[in-house]
Structure 1
Amino acid sequence: MEPMLATPATGPAELPRGPEWAFEVKWDGVRALADTTSGRLRMWSRNEREITPAYPELAGLGAVPDAILDGEIVLMADGIPSFTALAERMHVREPRRAEALAAQRPVTFLVFDVLRLDGVDLTGRTYDDRREALAGLALPHQVQLSPVYPDGDELWEVTKGLGLEGVVAKRRSSTYVPGRRSHDWVKAPHRRTRAALVGGWREETNGSGRMGAVLFGARDTDGALRYLGRAGSGLTGKRATELQKLLVPRADSPFDDEVPPIDARGTRWCEPTVVVDTLYLARNPTGRLRQPVVRAVRTDTDADPWEQP
């Protein structure tokens, strides 16, 4: 089952207001569904890949009977979610390595919705009813209920001051619609992020042969791969080495629009199958990302589609 998704807003002015809306923190982590309907805990990413082995410290969720909980896996650093630190945990599947990392820097599962509980389907009930059901749960170690706030403007300022990712507004009367992006949920980030497809890479300028930058894009509604830009920031030695191993070479550019000659020069093209998470300042009128930074390789989600700037 896929989670329900929020419609993006460009800023606080587009956040809904009024008593019919509830407001939550937009957490900077990995979206996950915790599923115990089979009698044991299985955790699923947004793109329906099982991620249970990566987070052994969340095993206590298995005690919640016949349930599907929706939430965000975060790794706190000084009280603030650190996506960079979490990126080191995402792809670990070897049990001993996962246990060691869990002991050193445990994650927290912040639960914000429930689709099923005690064998009862709750997706047709209102947001308020589902939150009431969550409030009655005894949550295990490393699991917390993500709080709800009545004032979106105030939460926007608080989250901005604390360096959190943003705010999500949710209509109190709304049902849960799996796999759909709904206007009943509206998200407004302080920082812009995008999951993009890598279509090529360039070496460091010092002739080392190591990866120094990647070129990435997004598919439009026709399936064409549109160019989003080039980023070198964030490609630390370890991250660049791991990413380079995943790329499958090809002879020509996979992008369906023109890559500027200054970016294409010296590029080694690859099949656009690897997804990276990028943080950026804004998009220019042509759709290119301004000052993009590569944060992580993503296997828990598909690339975001192309949208007009």
Structure 2
Amino acid sequence: MPLTFPVSPMKAGLGMLPADDDRWAYEIKYDGYRTLAFVDGGAVRLQSTNGLDVTTNYPELASVPDGVHADIAILDAEFVVLDDDGRPRFELVQRHERPGALYIFDVLRIDDHDTIGLPYEDRRRLLGQLVEPGASWLVPAHRIGGGPELLDATGGQGLEGIMAKRLGSPYTPGKRSPNWRKIKHRRRVDVVIGGFTAGDGNRANTFGALLVGRWDGDVLVFAGGVGTGFSQVVLDGLSARLRDLEVDECPFEPPPPASYRRGARWVEPVLTATIEMTEFTNDGLVRHASFVELTA
């Protein structure tokens, strides 16, 4: 039975650079929305990761079939929006205030033939022959080996990281496969603890997440929540310190969004923590943050 709409995309796990570098292909990881494109004749239907039809959300992609040298194709891609420096930014995709582009990195079907059983390198070769770059779509380059160098280069360019994909591996729809790895850059920053949320389950007696901010002069500006990276020893010790510092008034100005305030308890903002994160969003919130240590 040929693949048809909707299709569950193959998923990658977080990981480290492979030791057998020459057995892997590497691609830049673009920060956007995973999108499957179903080309049928002169029309395209777009699908989100969770199977929703999002065709009308991206009118700039209506002409994608013009660049596909087949009547029927299923393409795996990332919808990205670039900032003024030409870097993909997830927040710009969410706002979608400027046109985006489809960065196509895999092919699942060409006309009457599903290609998911083919090795990665064969699918990439077919993809290069299948898709002609256009105004709002392209096939980004990939490389065999050289993962550490590409990771270093993307770090210097302020990009999110890279993807490592094992040579010879098939495309497995709906599966999180060890054959695909996301390797992300993370940086350390210091933040001020201004509150915490209630915990549940095995954290019922400690806390769920720290609510953190950064000083802007004398004003503590909210910067989001940090809910991972805590050992049980840290949870117990930090919970005791936070309870001793509790205050009635929120220290953040302006107060955090309502979703953070529900069940929040505030503390005197005298503790500083080091966290690891991927980036600050355009709204100034930490993204993919985890606790490292208490620094003051």
For residue 202 of structure 1, what is the aligned residue in structure 2? none
1:19: Cα distance to partner?
2.2
Over 3 Å counting, the alpha-carbon distance change for 1:7 and 1:115 in structure 2 is same
Give 5+ residue unaligned stretches, structure 1: 90-100, 193-211, 221-225, 234-239, 241-257, 270-279, 283-289, 297-303, 305-309
Matched, 1:227 2:208: yes
For residue 112 of structure 1, what is the aligned residue in structure 2? 105
1:76-115 aligned at under 5 Å gives the runs 76-77=82-83, 78-89=85-96, 101=97, 105-115=98-108
Amino acid at match of 2:82: M
Classify the secondary structure of the residue corresponding to 1:36: strand
Classify the secondary structure of the residue corresponding to 2:63: helix
Classify the secondary structure of the residue corresponding to 1:132: helix
- 2:135 aligned to which of 137, 141, 148: 141
* Structure index of larger Rg: 2
Matched, 1:46 2:49: yes
For residue 122 of structure 2, what is the aligned residue in structure 1? 129
TM-score, length-normalised on structure 1? 0.60
Q: Distance in 2 between matches of 1:152 and 1:86?
A: 27
Give 5+ residue unaligned stretches, structure 2: 1-6, 188-193, 215-221, 223-238, 251-260, 264-273, 289-296
Identity %: 35
- 2:157 aligned to which of 157, 162, 176: 162
Over 3 Å counting, the alpha-carbon distance change for 1:291 and 1:36 in structure 2 is closer
For residue 12 of structure 2, what is the aligned residue in structure 1? 6
1:119: Cα distance to partner?
2.7
Q: Distance in 2 between matches of 1:45 and 1:263?
A: 44
CA contact (8 A) 1:32 1:46 kept: yes
1:140: Cα distance to partner?
3.2
For residue 178 of structure 2, what is the aligned residue in structure 1? 183
CA root-mean-square deviation: 3.8
- 2:38 aligned to which of 32, 35, 39: 35
**Comparing both structures, which one devotes a greater share of its residues to strand?**
2
User: How many aligned positions are there?
Assistant: 218
Classify the secondary structure of the residue corresponding to 2:52: coil
For residue 174 of structure 1, what is the aligned residue in structure 2? 169
Classify the secondary structure of the residue corresponding to 1:124: coil
For residue 148 of structure 2, what is the aligned residue in structure 1? 153
Amino acid at match of 1:227: G
Classify the secondary structure of the residue corresponding to 1:230: strand
